[in-house]
Structure 1
Amino acid sequence: MTVYDDRPWLRLYGRQPGEIHPAHRNALDMFRAGLAQDPEGDAVRYFDGALSRRELDEQSDALASGLLASGFAPGDRLAVYLQNVPQFVVAVIAAWKAGGVLVSINPMSRARELTYLLQDSGATALIALESLYDEVARDVVPDSSVRLVLTTSGLEHHSHPDPRLFADLTRQRHEGTTDLAAFIDEHRGEVPPAATLAPTDVAFLTYTSGTTGVPKGAMNTHGNVVFTATAYRDWARFQPGGSVFGIAPLFHITGLIGHVAVSLLAPMPLVLAYRFEPGVVLDALRQHRPTYTIGAVTALNALLNHPDFTRDHFSSFTSVYSGGAPISPTAERAFAEATGLQLHNAYGLTETTSPMTLTPFGTPSPVDPTSGALSVGVPVPSTVVRIQGDDGADVALGEVGEIVAEGPQVVAGYWGKPEETAAGLPGGALRSGDVGFMNDDGWIFIVDRKKDMINAAGYKVWPREVEDVLAEHPAVREAAVVGVPDEKRGETVKAFVSLKDGRSATAEELIAHCKERMAAYKYPRQVELVDELPKTVTGKILRRELRGGRQP
């Protein structure tokens, strides 16, 4: 199946498969170009503080010099165990200036996860929040390859800590660690030797969620990062004077590319607010007036449902993208009604260094008339997306199969795991594990995760379709659908539903709502009302926890 021909969206963006944007050889070049363009402009804004590009350059020079003086060598891994703080961005640039690789670690990771990530990556240096070192890392580091621990705090770089985030936080110094700010001051004025970074060198090690086994370190190269940052910048139509709001966690591929990398490339200020707290985020939107963001629809919905939300909070935005979790047509309409803005779709994985498909700016995503699914966009330039059957052959347009991607954003493999690389990236093409289809105009539609398919009495039921129908009910805030054992059907459909504040609905009403709108084998036989659905820090609903009976 050919996916590249004379489509209108291809003519608009111009490039062909295999063509890579030539502006920058590596991700550090993006930062250096922005520095030369506007050295005194803000690189990062954080509450009432800011860090200019010149200051970011000086601090990252000092940190890189200090790392190298402490035994860090080109190719070594620097792990960061941080929330969305300016120090994260300093660490990214410093790792590259030292010729190293940044390992981004979820700040929600506990001892077992942190132990695995440090050991698997072989990180030799760690930058951690003081609180996370105290709670978790102090017991893990002695058994890892880490030789240098630098600690810092969310209280840095601003003068009036918000009690909603920092009420109980105090500065802590721990034996065996060095204060990051003091370390930077010690080496201030030093300039590291120029790092030689090829497009094929690894820029980030980003770990998969491990839903089908242990997490795997995706090797996101400098070429991957430059390409996807360019895709976001071009498709979101950045304008001079804008800024990026960091709603996604920076450790995640969406935050690393859709926030950090694209802000370096543009260049534009990156606005950070420590972690996602809806009231704090709304205040930050009003204070900083950002123009672009990308985040999970669950986070955007949390903002719309907050009692302080007004249309004015989004009045500065020119483009808003959503990725990391599926969007229903109902959610897209609700966002447009609340903000006056189109919610553009993005789709990608850790292994595609964020986007493989995007909704072209200003072009509404179509809704498939049969499944009711909202399209996740079209392949970005230089990218080939195929839909394949279990036999590895392309299926016809409109038929359902596994989504497979090839392009400059696809990683070369998994860190230290050649067998997993061969299985998941055969011939350099990523087998996504997502099931979907492509229509005649090249739009991609996701049906669901392959492993989440429910087999009810021999019929295939995709949870996503049931969830979208539930979302149409006016009382439903969020829904998650899983298969549960059933004596007669083998598996049957069960829905977990949280309701909007001030709205009510019974399980029987929600079952009837679905029964009226779906084939008999698809509608949920069981509905359980819950206060909250379990999610990852990026906003994806954790169906596996619901299948395992661990309801919130």
Structure 2
Amino acid sequence: MQKTIDRPWTQFYPEEIPAEMNYEIQPLHALLENAEASFPKNKAISFQGTTLTYQELGEQTRAFANELSALGVEKGDRVAIMLPNTPQSVIAYYGALMIGAVVVQTNPLYVERELEHQMADSGAKVIVCLDLLYPKVMKVKHATQLEHVIVTGIKDYLPFPKNMIYPFIQKKNQGMKVKVEYSRTVHAFKPMIKRGSTSKVQVSIDPDHDLALLQYTGGTTGLAKGVMLTHRNLVANTTQCLQWMYRLERGKEKTLAVLPFFHVYGMTVSMNLSVMSASETIILPKFDPKEVLETIQKEQISIFPGAPTMYIGLINHPDAASYDLSSVQACMSGSAALPLEVQQTFEEMTGGKLVEGYGLTEAAPVTHCNLLWGTRREGSIGLPWPDTEAGIYSEENGMLPPNEIGELVIRGPQVMQGYWKRPEETAATFYEDWLLTGDMGYMDEDGFFYIVDRKKDMIIAGGFNIYPREVEEVLYEHDDIQEAVIVGVPDEYRGETVKAFIVLKEGSEVDEAALDAFCRKNLAAYKVPRSYEFRDELPKTTVGKVLRRVLVDEAQTEEKAKSS
């Protein structure tokens, strides 16, 4: 593959966006230190009525970092964070980075099987979890290298009287109150913050080579694999994002953080970008359309990164027109294709800009985006970001000319170092120094890129990546199932949803409800099939390989017929 390529897309860059940038060589947590030094009294975080200034956030983060050191956490050790969006998730993230630890973001929705694999694979030494998740963590701890569990609760950062009322609400909603048994290996988060030293931690970090993050994504074996991202990978991608949103005023913006921080997209464009720009981050633990509309109006939100399902939920809310959303200036949509109608309607509602971008975990994650203030093209994922090279490649013909379909390939400062402890899979994901995305697309004559299909079988539902192999392997554990194939089908709200094709063993009579209950015990809720189709046999090649594409086409045709 050729070493250099033309970059026709740079002709569309406004003068504020350079084709090449200088990246400050610094560790990721320096973003917080810089914001604290420049805007110590500015609000950094707002959460359910509680606010932290950048000085307070910095002090609490250093306290946590020092307490981690006191537990024996050293540079290179992995620290898992299993939290929804809360102040604690920000403090734990930057605190772990300050002592040179590697953050392992863990989805709070994981069931025990998924959690055990991730902890065992990463070799995490410490996990920070929500009190409601404590029982789940303790059930898998024996099968992992976890030495310490740090427990926190939503009420830890609620103001009075919410912090007094919350336990009763929690008990009512959950049906029971979780009892945490604290010990020399199980610790309470809030006391650690109170007693921890706020002095700066001195750890030497090489941003180019030292890992900041293991972000897990699906593997070809059906098990998640850790994407190795360095401090430089994440600083570079955040810097690129800030430059793309060049009208942001440092220290003056308000970002709505409803995208989960445990997802690399939310981590970069909500958390890291907000800290780099010294914005106030208004944190919501989950997406609720009414709460989001109220928050935008009350807080005068200017930056709102999200997923298409979120914008769809807002524009379809029956009371949307009654809210003043005019403060919204810039929104980047990711995780799935953004329908043109949704983009146009949301821009009419707010007067701000909503653009579609593209990325993948292996690129920290953003590589392409449409211009917020410039030329956009319908159906396009936009232009490659500064210092990001992209092309369309085929194994037979190398780099393809404009308008020919092939695999999208990428290289740039945000591209991962590889997969954790998986050299063979790493090698298979690169051609020379180009990252093979697994997405099929083309570039037009001007350098705008378009995605037409996924080479991989991955399903993207509501912004979550779902790998069919993982769901299939769970189904194969059921005694009554002979064959199972998972495909993605169109869904008006989630973008895609999960459908299972099932062949039962002879004489079995298991029904959809039983399979649903089985899957919910073994998979996070968003991975559970939404529909099941029972068949006597599945379409196969002459050598017995299931023709997944045939099933995908059949399912998509059926869904289109229903909606027409």
TM-score of Structure 1 vs Structure 2, range by shorter chain: 0.7 to 0.9
| Residue number in structure 1 paired with 2:385 | 380
1:4 aligned onto 2:20: no
Cα-to-partner distance string for 1:503-552 (whole Å, 9 max, x where unaligned): xxxxxxxxxxxxxxxxxxxx6587457xxxxxxxxxxxxxxxxxxxxxxx
Cα distance change on mapping 1:400 and 1:524 into 2, 3 Å: farther
Cα distance change on mapping 1:212 and 1:447 into 2, 3 Å: farther
2:441 alignment partner, SS class: strand
| Larger displacement relative to structure 2 (350-359 or 198-207) | 198-207
- Report the TM-score when normalising by structure 2: 0.78
| Residue number in structure 1 paired with 2:133 | 132
1:493 aligned onto 2:553: yes
Retained in 2: the 8 A contact 1:452–1:482? Answer: no
- Give the alignment of 1:95-494 within 5 angstroms: 95-134=96-135, 136-159=136-159, 160=162, 168=173, 172-176=179-183, 177-210=186-219, 213-236=222-245, 237-240=247-250, 241-310=252-321, 312-367=323-378, 374-391=379-396, 393-452=398-457, 491=551, 493-494=553-554
Distance 1:140 1:317 in 2: 43
Retained in 1: the 8 A contact 2:258–2:285? Answer: no
Question: Across the two proteins, how many residue pairs are aligned to each other?
Answer: 479
Cα distance change on mapping 1:336 and 1:482 into 2, 3 Å: farther
Cα distance change on mapping 1:430 and 1:483 into 2, 3 Å: farther
Note the C-alpha offset of 1:30: 1.7
Note the C-alpha offset of 1:87: 0.5
Retained in 1: the 8 A contact 2:134–2:180? Answer: no
Cα distance change on mapping 1:213 and 1:41 into 2, 3 Å: same
Note the C-alpha offset of 1:98: 0.9
1:416 alignment partner, SS class: coil
Note the C-alpha offset of 1:133: 1.2
Distance 2:10 2:187 in 1: 56
Note the C-alpha offset of 1:150: 0.5
Among all aligned residue pairs of Structure 1 and Structure 2, give the percentage whose two residues are the same amino acid.
Answer: 29
Distance 2:409 2:296 in 1: 37
1:398 alignment partner, SS class: coil
Note the C-alpha offset of 1:450: 1.4
| Larger displacement relative to structure 2 (41-50 or 479-488) | 479-488
Retained in 2: the 8 A contact 1:64–1:95? Answer: yes
1:73 aligned onto 2:74: yes
Cα-to-partner distance string for 1:142-167 (whole Å, 9 max, x where unaligned): 22111111100112222237989956
Retained in 2: the 8 A contact 1:273–1:284? Answer: no
| Larger displacement relative to structure 2 (192-201 or 77-86) | 192-201
Distance 2:221 2:391 in 1: 23
Which letter does structure 1 place at the counterpart of 2:432?
G
| Larger displacement relative to structure 2 (23-32 or 85-94) | 23-32
Cα distance change on mapping 1:263 and 1:195 into 2, 3 Å: farther
Superposed CA RMSD in Å reads 3.1
| Larger displacement relative to structure 2 (306-315 or 213-222) | 306-315
Cα-to-partner distance string for 1:427-453 (whole Å, 9 max, x where unaligned): 232111111110011101111211459
Note the C-alpha offset of 1:480: 5.9
Cα distance change on mapping 1:412 and 1:301 into 2, 3 Å: same
Note the C-alpha offset of 1:281: 2.2
Retained in 1: the 8 A contact 2:311–2:342? Answer: no
Retained in 2: the 8 A contact 1:494–1:527? Answer: no
1:292 alignment partner, SS class: coil
Retained in 1: the 8 A contact 2:255–2:279? Answer: yes
Note the C-alpha offset of 1:425: 2.4
Which letter does structure 2 place at the counterpart of 1:102?
V
Task: Specify every segment of 5 or more residues in structure 2 that has no aligned partner in the other structure, as ranges.
Answer: 459-486, 502-537, 541-546
Note the C-alpha offset of 1:223: 0.8
